[in-house]
DNA sequence: CCGCGAATTTAGACACTGTCTAACCCTCAC
DNA sequence: GTGAGGGTTAGACAGTGTCTAAATTCGCGG
């Protein structure tokens, strides 16, 4: 299982295309552009920000395609979805297990490597269900 | 510090009014109705569901008032806000420390008492910030 | 080269949640 | 009664995301 976190910021378009292919995603021009925006910055971006970045030089990708593509990337587990801000979903190119600080004043999101948090005993899951992952969000605010 | 979890489902209107007063909330008719919906059921309800319940017998409270009131309840720390479903915020009348199971298939939310989860070492917070709380969401899906 | 079906992209209409405004209502003090 | 202030309201509005139907592009066999 290849992992996206091996990507370097300067990764070439060809590598991006390969990454998509390894995740069973047909690397169209638009999909490569969107993946590039996500993996070059390696930040937590909203759909809106992605649309802006992709179309910064000149309009080349529609809103519908960006939403379609993000959903596809999610299905193929190339990226993660974070539901933290009530107004917008943000997408996380880092699919390794990790958690987040969320500054309630600024909205800023910061990664926390999974090894920095140790969870003791997980409680018994509701009957008939299995775990699909654990999300931990530590809300922070400016000191004093 | 009085706590809302001492409320019983059958709690009378008068008690609800007292609860609001203890939280420095002027108990108007609409606010009592909304609090009753929240604390009688003690479930996680969306604004939409609250509007429906409050106006089930006959229309008596506007959308604007429900949103205004929920925001007021939040400020006064009478309820909590949960950002888990991308489509709607849900409100939690249980303000004691606890976490949640989230069934990704059904959208169902279930409480996890805080003592059922032990967090080891918290990572160092970003400089200049203090913790404002920790939210843990265990996503689950139907087994097999 | 064609030609054709499937996959992809697109503009714009649409749905949904939540916010805002400006008028209105209600109570209470004077 | 009057005025002030808090509370409520309808409905317009905004932001985010979805859907549809048409257009474009792609892959591929002939
Ligand atoms: Mn480009
Ligand atoms: Mn009523
Ligand atoms: Zn992250
Ligand atoms: Zn809860």
- End-to-end CA distance of chain B: give it in Å, rounded: 45
For residue A31, the CA-to-ligand 1 centroid distance in Å is: 10
pLDDT score at B74 = 97
Q: Read off the tokens for B35.
A: 């609090």
Contact with chain A for residue B103, Cβ under 8 A: yes
Report how far Cα B25 is from the mean position of its chain's Cα atoms. Answer: 16
Indicate yes or no: strand C within 7 A of the C-beta of A131. Answer: no
Indicate yes or no: strand C within 7 A of the C-beta of A26. Answer: yes
Across chain A, mean pLDDT equals 89
Q: How far is the CA of A96 from the C1' of D11 (A)?
A: 47
Is beta strand A129-142 parallel, antiparallel or unpaired with respect to B129-142? antiparallel
Does residue B10 have a pLDDT over 80? Answer: no
pLDDT tens per residue, range A81-102: 999 999 999 999 999 999 999 9
pLDDT tens per residue, range B74-99: 999 999 999 999 999 999 999 999 99
Residue A121 φ/ψ, nearest 5 degrees: -80, 125
Residue A46's closest CA among A81, A1, A11? A81
Contact with chain A for residue B9, Cβ under 8 A: no
CB B11 within 8 A of CB B100: no
Return the residue matching tokens 């004093």: A144
CB B109 within 8 A of CB B84: yes
Q: Which domains does chain B have, with CATH numbers?
A: 4-85 (1.10.10.10), 97-140 (no CATH)
Nearest CA in chain B to A99: B136
Q: Name the nucleotide with the smallest C1'–CA separation from B34.
A: D8
pLDDT tens per residue, range B45-54: 999 999 999 9
CB B16 within 8 A of CB B39: yes
SS3 at position B127 = coil
Residue A4's closest CA among A124, A118, A96, A76? A96
Mutate to test the interface with A, among B131, B135, B142 (most CBs of A within 10 A): B135
Name the residue with higher pLDDT: B102 or B143: B102
pLDDT score at A4 = 44
For residue A3, the CA-to-ligand 4 centroid distance in Å is: 35
C-alpha distance from residue B119 to each of A44, A47, A54, A99 (Å)? 25, 32, 40, 13
Across chain B, mean pLDDT equals 89
* Nearby residues of B101 by Cβ (< 8 Å), 6 or more positions away: A125, A126, A129, B108, B109, B110, B112, B137, B138, B139, B140
Give the number of the ligand closest to the Cα of residue B96: 4
Contact with chain B for residue A118, Cβ under 8 A: yes
CB A68 within 8 A of CB A75: no
Average the pLDDT over B25-44 and give the result: 96
Contact with chain A for residue B71, Cβ under 8 A: no
Cα separation, B128 vs A61, whole angstroms: 39
Nearest-CA residue relative to C1' of D18: A64
The shortest CB-CB distance from B132 to any of A112, A125, A141 is to A141
Residue A131's closest CA among B104, B102, B139, B106? B139
State which residues between 70 and 109 of chain A bring their CB within 7 Å of strand C: 86
DSSP string, B42-110: -S-EEHHHHHHHHTSSS--S-HHHHHHHHHHHHHTTSSEEEEEETTEEEEES--SSEEEEEETTT--EE
Flag if B139 and A135 touch (Cβ within 8 Å).
Answer: yes
Query: Using 50, 70 and 90 to split pLDDT, how confident is the model at B9?
Result: low
Name chain A contacts of B81, Cβ cutoff 8 Å: 86
pTM value? 0.89
Q: In chain D, which nucleotides are within 7 Å of a protein Cβ?
A: 6-11, 15-20, 26
Contact with chain B for residue A138, Cβ under 8 A: yes
């Amino acid at each position: 299982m290849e992992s996206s976190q091996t990507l370097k910021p300067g990764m070439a378009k060809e590598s991006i295309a390969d990454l998509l292919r390894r995740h069973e995603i047909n690397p169209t021009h638009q999909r490569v552009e969107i993946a590039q925006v996500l993996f070059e910055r390696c930040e937590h971006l909203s759909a809106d920000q992605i649309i802006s970045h992709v179309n910064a030089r000149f309009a080349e990708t529609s809103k519908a395609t960006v939403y379609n593509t993000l959903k596809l990337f999610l299905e193929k587990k190339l990226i993660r979805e974070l539901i933290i801000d009530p107004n917008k979903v943000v997408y996380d190119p880092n699919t390794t297990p990790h958690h987040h600080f969320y500054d309630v004043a600024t909205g800023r999101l910061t990664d926390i490597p999974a090894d920095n948090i140790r969870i003791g005993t997980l409680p018994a899951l509701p009957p008939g269900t299995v775990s699909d992952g654990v999300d931990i969000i530590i809300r922070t605010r400016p000191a004093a």
